Amino acid sequence: MDNLAQLIKTRPDVLPILKKGEIVEAKLIEKTPKKAFFEIQRVGTGIVYGREFANGREVVKGLEVGDSVSAKVVEPENENGFVELSLTEADKQKAWQMAKEAQEKDEPIKVKVFGANSGGLLVEVYDLKGFLPVSQLSVEHYPRTDEQSREKVIEELNKLVEEELEVKIIGLNPRTNKLIVSEKEVLSQNVKEIINQYKQGDTVTGIISGLANFGAFIRFADNPEVEGLIHISELGHKLIESPKEIVSVGDMVKAQVIEVKDNKISLSLKALQPDPWKDIEDKYKEGDVVKGTIYKFNPFGAFVKLTEDIVGLIHISEFGSPEEMKSQLSLDSKESFRIEAIKPEEKRIILKLSK
């Protein structure tokens, strides 16, 4: 074994062997209009040229001879004996490494919002492009609109563009350039402890702080830093099209806690209201002929309002087609129906046309 081979084997630190993808410190020794040469300590000379020079032109332009910069090894040794380098890929790889470390440490980071779509926010994370899904927004920033339109959601999200948000990284994959962050994961330990003091069945007082098409947000009076959600199905016993039929922003309400999970509190207004379906079989019997107002059409039939809180359904099969149904019934008209079935456990009354 010659002396060089013996030296490499026993002291690899003296003459390190580079690998593709490795990040090295490179000192600029010469630059020309089409290439740049760098000194890589204890290794030799590196070169940036071709596509990598075009991609890193701005980086090279800002360097003076003697300046050092991080570079990624593209080819450990080319046919001319140079180490082929990439300047732009090194920055990107370092950014991914920083993102990975932040995720592993579970630490909050600041990101800037630069765009929005109906699915969420586009954010900048260590010079990488990341995504903050709507579902991962904090309660404070969740789009509060009771209009079920993509345009309205985007309009609300666009209000956050140029804002700086505190988030945690919850998913990353450098190979697919996937970087997902969450704002709702960033909750102070104090708030988490307060949230977990509430339990199912508790009654709370709060102010309606926002509306969305799926429900209403409520800020707790005793702990204003805590906000919960009342789903549209928990706003009342009757059929509800929009939360604004029941509550308005600023209303003071009492609600019951129905679930505390993942640092979120779900509440109900109807749990504190008398259940109109409880004694329904004392008020109505199968075969009764009742008066009802046509409330809404859908593909399955027509909803018929019997009282303010009790809605029955006459199935589309009674008519044969939606067109025939709408020719026989009209919205807001009052008609006579026969009760075919009462299902209190399902909160359903099935109706037939009264002959």
Domain coordinates in residue numbering, the chain: 24-86, 97-182, 190-272, 280-353
Q: Is the pLDDT of residue 23 over 50?
A: yes
Contact 215, 243 (CB under 8 A): yes
Which DSSP category does 119 fall into? T
Note the pLDDT tens digit of each residue in 100-143: 999 999 889 999 999 999 889 999 998 899 999 988 888 778 88
CATH topology of domain 24-86: OB fold (Dihydrolipoamide Acetyltransferase, E2P) (2.40.50)
Q: What is the pLDDT of residue 1?
A: 43
CATH topology of domain 280-353: OB fold (Dihydrolipoamide Acetyltransferase, E2P) (2.40.50)
**Under CATH, which number does the domain 97-182 receive?**
2.40.50.140
HSE at residue 256, side-chain half, CA atoms within 13 A, is 12
Domain 190-272 has CATH 3.40.50.1820: no
Which DSSP category does 42 fall into? T
* Residues contacting 336, CB < 8 A, separation 6+: 289, 290, 291, 354
Identical fold between 24-86 and 190-272: yes
CA 258-203-217 angle, to 5 degrees, is: 65
The pTM of this model reads: 0.59
Among 253, 250, 248, CA closest to 206: 253
pLDDT, greater one: 91 or 237: 237
String of DSSP letters for 222-249: S-TT-EEEEEGGGS-SS--S-GGGT--T
